[in-house]
Amino acid sequence: MATDPSDPDPIYPDPIDHVLVGARPLTIDEVVAVARHDAPVSVTEDAWARVARARAIVDGLAQDTQPHYGVSTGFGALATTHIPVEKRVALQRSLIRSHAAGTGGEVEREVVRAMMLLRIQTLATGRTGIRPDTLRLYVDVLNAGLTPVVREFGSLGCSGDLAPLAHVALALTGEGEVRDSADRRLDASSALAAAGLRPVQLREKEGLALINGTDGMLGMLCLAAHDLAGLLTTADIAAALSLEGLLGTDAVLAADLQALRPHPGQARSAATMRAVLADSEIRRSHETEECTRVQDAYSLRCAPQVNGAARDTLAHAVTVAERELAAAIDNPVITDDGRLESNGNFHGAPLAYVLDFLAIVAADVASMSERRTDRFLDVGRNHGLPPFLADDPGTDSGLMIAQYTQAGLVTEMKRLAVPASVDSIPSSAMQEDHVSMGWSAARKLRRSIDGLAHVVAIEILTAARGLQLRAPLRPGPVGAAVIGVLGEVAAPGPDRWVAPQIDRAYAAVVDGSIRAAAESVTGPLD
């Protein structure tokens, strides 16, 4: 079986080397392919035709004396302000300049690219009234590897991710800043020229079409869902290795017991743990009449229930993401019968809720992981292992402070689990009097997922060392494979600099090496 996540056969799917927009809703994997791996993007001919038809509708309204939001009116609380024909191009330019008001550090390249792809998808629906030439420039900028500089703070997650998307739109007009494919920070005008592209002069309705979407929130949800899917399987592997190393019983993982509480995530987590523990000499060693342990601590016995609930919560979040990927978010929007209608579909509540749910999930999975690590290090609870898994306890401290690091991470993740979506600060002179804070929920979720990867890495490092200290008993084939990936960093012995050991384990979690090692023995783990 494959052991390298870059090898698509038979465990990992074929890489996505091109994404076609306009034929159907994008998938989460396609978003990741463009955002993280620079897969090129193109738009279908049918989509170009839809875009042209919608633009013709907007052009027909441009000279209308009746007010049309975004075409002949101001924005937000200024929506009742009539804009004369001769000022309507300036209206769009002013909209983008004024709304590109973000501040703070730069948002990660992969997030900006995901956001750009998702805005392209909505523009290609023919619901926004964008001009084909403007959409074409957007696609060309993305494919050229130009990434507008977007700031951390500015979006309230309602009326779309206005400020972040405005920073992208500003670059299309030749203003603002971008990073090129070599990560050099340049003014947008110079970067466009170097790529052979010409900035656009926005016309009626186009400013709103470029910024009135949930694309930042959705992009971060897609990336988070992708990462958590792999990370939760790795958390199951970690839990099983800890159960093995702490001489716990796998009887509680039996399929018939799990079926008494028919949550699908719980069943999958338990099945993964059973596969990891198969053929373990350590596990078999205490299946004797002399073993008096009837029940393990909750952090061992209830791992499938917690990790499984996390899986089910993730499944709900994926459902929300997929619905949003099938949406056309803009305001106003062009209907099937050619009306230009205002709506509230830009409100980020559906995304904000699940982004917050996932931060709660990540914190709780990490909390249980840290408890298992602590049991390994406590001589009163680790069933015969040395204190802190130290070589010479007293002289050596072993992994004592690695658990401190875990505890600090878990505490931070608990703070990040406080929901952003329960807050709302009215804006735009009370026109926008309830907002979702979904962008904030997404930003903290990214930090929480990274924290979970570190916490699980420390548990795996600890379990690998604990398993080796059970010698001459041998761990199961999965445990041996994971130990092989970690190599010398997990080997027992006198104290060594711990930080690089944690870094090595973290890298193996994030790049999929731990999961791939397990699957080289078990086959695909779901």
Q: Which residue has the tokens 């990336």?
A: 223
* Last residue in a domain, options 153, 187, 213: 213
* Last residue in a domain, options 195, 213, 231: 213
**CATH code of the domain covering residue 441:** 1.20.200.10
Choosing from 69, 138, 404, 506, the catalytic residue is: 69
pLDDT digits (tens, 9 = 90+) for 365-402: 999 999 999 999 999 999 999 999 999 999 999 999 99
The share of the chain scoring above pLDDT 70, in percent, equals 91
Domain annotation covers residue 9: no
From CA 382, how far away is CA 385, in angstroms rounded?
6
- Contact between 99 and 162 under an 8 Å Cβ cutoff? The reply is yes
Two tokens at 400?
């004592």
In the three-class reduction of DSSP (H, G, I as helix; E, B as strand; rest coil), residue 79 is classed as coil
pLDDT band (50, 70, 90) for residue 454: very high
Q: Is 154 exposed, middle or buried (0-12, 13-18, 19+ CB in 10 A)?
A: buried
Handedness of CA 428, 431, 434, 439 (dihedral sign): negative
Do 232 and 166 belong together in one domain?
no
From CA 234, how far away is CA 15, in angstroms rounded?
21
**CATH code of the domain covering residue 128:** 1.10.275.10
From CA 121, how far away is CA 139, in angstroms rounded?
10
- Is it the case that residue 10 has pLDDT exceeding 50? no
Q: Is 406 exposed, middle or buried (0-12, 13-18, 19+ CB in 10 A)?
A: buried
Mean pLDDT of the 463-469 span: 98
Q: Where are the alpha helices (DSSP H) in 390-497?
A: 400-416, 438-468, 477-486
Q: Which residues contact 294 (CB under 8 A, 6 or more apart)?
A: none
DSSP state of 291: -
From CA 179, how far away is CA 432, in angstroms rounded?
32
Q: If residue 177 lies in a helix (H) or strand (E), which one and from where to where? A: strand 177-179
- Is it the case that residue 8 has pLDDT exceeding 60? no
Nearest Cα neighbor of 37 from 6, 59, 63 is: 6
> What pLDDT does 156 receive?
83
- Contact between 519 and 478 under an 8 Å Cβ cutoff? The reply is no
Q: Is 69 a catalytic residue?
A: yes
Q: Which residue has the tokens 């914190």?
A: 363
Nearest Cα neighbor of 479 from 520, 421, 447, 438 is: 520
- Is it the case that residue 436 has pLDDT exceeding 80? no
Beta-sheet pairing, 19-21 with 41-43:
parallel
Domain annotation covers residue 252: yes
Do 179 and 322 belong together in one domain?
no
Do 259 and 281 belong together in one domain?
yes
Look up the pTM and report it.
0.93
For the chain, the C-alpha Rg in angstroms (whole number) is 26
Do 251 and 155 belong together in one domain?
no
* Burial per residue of 22-40, b for 16 or more beta-carbon CB atoms within 10 angstroms, e otherwise: beeebebebbbbbbbeebe
Mean pLDDT of the 490-508 span: 97
Phi, psi (deg, nearest 5) at residue 242: -70, -40
pLDDT digits (tens, 9 = 90+) for 170-185: 999 999 999 999 999 9
Total domains in the fold of the chain = 2
Q: Which residue has the tokens 């592209």?
A: 197
Do 108 and 159 belong together in one domain?
yes
Q: Where are the alpha helices (DSSP H) in 278-399?
A: 281-285, 298-301, 303-325, 349-377
pLDDT band (50, 70, 90) for residue 78: low
Average pLDDT, the chain: 91
Beta-sheet pairing, 147-148 with 177-179:
antiparallel
- Contact between 480 and 203 under an 8 Å Cβ cutoff? The reply is no
pLDDT digits (tens, 9 = 90+) for 250-292: 999 999 999 999 999 999 999 999 999 999 999 888 776 666 6
Q: Which residue has the tokens 């089910």?
A: 312
Do 191 and 254 belong together in one domain?
no
pLDDT band (50, 70, 90) for residue 5: very low
From CA 437, how far away is CA 156, in angstroms rounded?
5
Do 82 and 229 belong together in one domain?
no
* Residue 143: count of CB within 10 angstroms of its CB: 15
Two tokens at 186?
């340049």
From CA 317, how far away is CA 350, in angstroms rounded?
9
pLDDT digits (tens, 9 = 90+) for 23-41: 999 999 999 999 999 999 9
Nearest Cα neighbor of 413 from 360, 335, 336 is: 360
Domain annotation covers residue 492: yes
Structural domain range at position 500: 220-329+361-522
Give the strands of the sheet with 185-187, arranged side by side: 147-148, 177-179, 185-187
Instruction: Please give the C-alpha separations between residue 488 and each of 96, 453, 506, in angstroms, as whole numbers.
Output: 54, 20, 15
* Longest Cα–Cα distance in the chain: 91
Do 200 and 225 belong together in one domain?
no
Specify the higher pLDDT residue, 189 or 82.
189
> What pLDDT does 495 receive?
96
Mean pLDDT of the 291-304 span: 85
Domain annotation covers residue 354: no
- Contact between 479 and 244 under an 8 Å Cβ cutoff? The reply is yes
* Last residue in a domain, options 198, 213, 228: 213
Q: Identity (one letter) of the amino acid at 195?
A: A
Domain annotation covers residue 343: no
Helix H, strand E, coil C: the string for 391-412 is CCECCECCCHHHHHHHHHHHHH
Do 284 and 141 belong together in one domain?
no
Q: Where are the alpha helices (DSSP H) in 86-131?
A: 88-99, 109-123
Domain annotation covers residue 342: no
Mean pLDDT of the 427-452 span: 84
Domain annotation covers residue 345: no
- Is it the case that residue 470 has pLDDT exceeding 50? yes
Domain annotation covers residue 415: yes
Centroid of chain to Cα 304: 23
From CA 328, how far away is CA 324, in angstroms rounded?
8
Do you know the residue count of the chain? 526
Do 128 and 272 belong together in one domain?
no
Two tokens at 292?
């008096």
From CA 347, how far away is CA 329, in angstroms rounded?
9
Do 233 and 273 belong together in one domain?
yes
Do 289 and 194 belong together in one domain?
no
Helix axes 28-37, 303-325, angle to 10 degrees: 90
> What pLDDT does 81 receive?
64
Mean pLDDT of the 231-235 span: 98
